[in-house]
């Protein structure tokens, strides 16, 4: 068995004296592990840093085997990530989110979204809203997508400012007013477009805070609590840095 694919380095662990078991998120083969012979060498260590983009060839006798990777660098971002606490916590949280996916199941759209997020993790204006959107995408891939396009009560798409914590569907201002204390806020950068108006590219801190509250609620309800997983500390620190002036 053999294939070659682009991949993002998520992490690794030592194997023997000179090798590592590498974890990649690949474009067409999903999250995949494999042995890298000589992965602890001086040449390979800079290549196998989390966040780096690589070209990997995987070989194994049987499809279900661990197999081995031969890896070549495409783009190194590790140095840029190390210069920012926001980026480091963001990369750790991103890797943890991708580990929620089953191994070897392709998610090409998530791969593309992860590449985009990594490219902007050092940017405090762009990274937080991109992370909110990435968390929504993870929820959708796991079967818990939110319906933020139309009002759950009226079927319209005007003045959507709430989300029902029970259904995960948007609610309009008028329909949600009697229940506003029991509804989650829908930040403006996640709302459906109204009358063709553009959505903000860099939402304010309040909107970002609302976004993380929204995704955190549903991640907790559908993922972390059912799987007995504590909410990641890396996420808490990323959110704190993203909203520290709120």
- Band (pLDDT 50/70/90 cuts) for residue 245 is low
Give the model's pLDDT for residue 195.
42
DSSP E strands in 37-144: the ranges are: 53-59, 68-75
What total of structural domains would you count in the chain?
3
> Is 33 found in the same domain as 140?
no
Instruction: Report the share of the chain in percent with pLDDT over 70.
Output: 95
Beta-bridge mates of residue 12: 22
Last residue of one domain, picked from the residues 60, 76, 92 = 76
Q: Domain check: are 117 and 27 in the same one?
A: no
Residue that is last in its domain, among 76, 102, 134: 76
pLDDT, tens digit, 9 for 90 and up, residues 148-180: 999 988 887 778 999 999 999 999 999 999 999
Same domain, 51 and 128: no
Residue whose structure tokens are 């995987």 = 58
Residue 199 has pLDDT above 60, yes or no: no
Instruction: Verify that 177 and 195 share a domain, yes or no.
Output: no
CATH number at residue 93: 1.20.1440
**CA angle centred on 207, ends 206 and 212, rounded to 5°:** 100
Q: Does 4 share its domain with 68?
A: yes
- Same domain as 133, residue 55: no
Cα(161)–Cα(188) distance, integer angstroms: 8
Question: Which residues does residue 13 pair with via DSSP β-bridges, in sequence order?
Answer: 21
Range of lowest pLDDT (24-33, 67-76, 191-200): 191-200
The answer to whether the CB of 76 falls within 8 A of the CB of 49 is: yes
pLDDT at 130 over 90: yes
Domain limits for position 218: 77-148+186-246
Judge if 30 and 71 occupy the same domain.
Answer: yes
What gap in Å lies between CA 68 and CA 30, rounded to an integer?
A: 16
165 closest CA partner among 222, 94, 80 = 222
63 and 165 co-located in one domain:
no
Residue 192 scores a pLDDT above 70? no
Segment 117-146 mean pLDDT: 96
Q: Tell whether 72 and 82 lie within a shared domain.
A: no
Q: Is the dihedral of CA 10, 25, 51, 121 positive or negative?
A: negative
CA dist 152 → 148, 162, 187 (Å): 9, 10, 17
The pair phi, psi for residue 21, each rounded to 5°, is: -100, 115
The pLDDT, as a whole number, for residue 201 is 58
Answer yes or no: is pLDDT of 217 > 80. yes
Same domain, 19 and 95: no
């Amino acid at each position: 068995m053999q294939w070659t694919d682009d991949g993002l380095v998520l992490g690794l662990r030592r194997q023997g004296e000179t090798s590592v078991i590498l974890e990649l998120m690949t474009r067409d083969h999903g999250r995949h592990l494999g042995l890298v012979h000589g992965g602890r060498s001086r040449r390979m260590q800079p290549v196998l840093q989390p966040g780096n983009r690589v070209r990997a060839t995987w070989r194994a006798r049987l499809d279900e085997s661990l197999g081995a990777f031969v890896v070549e660098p495409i783009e190194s971002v590790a140095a840029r990530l190390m210069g920012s606490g926001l980026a480091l916590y963001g990369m750790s949280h991103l890797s943890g989110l991708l580990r929620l996916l089953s191994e070897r199941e392709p998610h090409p759209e998530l791969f593309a979204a992860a590449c985009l997020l990594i490219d902007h993790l050092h940017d405090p204006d762009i990274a937080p809203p991109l992370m909110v959107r990435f968390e929504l995408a993870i929820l959708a891939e796991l079967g818990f997508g939110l319906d933020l396009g139309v009002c759950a009560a009226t079927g319209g798409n005007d003045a959507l400012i709430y989300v029902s914590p029970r259904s995960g569907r948007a609610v309009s201002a008028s329909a949600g007013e009697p229940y506003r204390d029991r509804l989650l806020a829908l930040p403006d950068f996640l709302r459906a477009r109204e009358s063709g108006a553009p959505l903000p590219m860099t939402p304010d801190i309040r909107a970002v805070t609302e976004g993380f509250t929204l995704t955190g609620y549903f991640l907790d309800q559908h993922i972390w609590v059912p799987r007995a997983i504590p909410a990641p500390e890396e996420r808490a620190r990323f959110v704190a840095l993203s909203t520290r002036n709120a």
